[in-house]
Amino acid sequence: MSLDVSPKLLSEAEAGDIREEDFVDTVRASLPYAYGLIAGLATELHSGVREFTDNQTPPPSEQERGQLLRALASDAIRGSLERHFGVILAFQNCHRVAAFRPAARDGSTYARFTSTRAQVLNQSAELRDC
């Protein structure tokens, strides 16, 4: 799944650096499910006191799952979304995305969520082919 890059943004990238806001707008338009899911997690995180917010609901279709995988597998996309929303993201399986406050990166909750143990404990037969 590729981003739908406008000719203007492509021209700007060919000439040099681009504005991150323009890149995030491209991600928003190209990967609306992934963008919306992460936006919702960030909003929920920033409006409360919980250490993190996460999604445990599978995407409605393989297209949405593909968007989520694309957004989180790309360092550029993931990093831009993290900076845009003021969060750090963690990812398990094929749909469990969590948003943490940036300061949590060195904390025990983030370490537990991103541990190999947590990854093993969050496996299930129904997620094997996701």
Residue 24 pLDDT level (bands cut at 50, 70, 90): very high
pTM, rounded to two decimals: 0.89
State the virtual CA torsion across 38, 78, 76, 29 in degrees, nearest 10: -20
pLDDT of 92 reads 83
Token pair in block for residue 56: 């445990």
pLDDT tens for residues 68-90? Answer: 999 999 999 999 999 999 999 99
Q: Is the pLDDT of residue 110 over 80?
A: yes
Residue 28 pLDDT level (bands cut at 50, 70, 90): very high
Q: How many angstroms separate the CA atoms of 43 and 120, rounded?
A: 28
Q: Note whether 23 and 84 are within 8 A (CB).
A: no
- E strands within the chain? 52-54, 88-92, 96-100
Residue 16 pLDDT level (bands cut at 50, 70, 90): very high
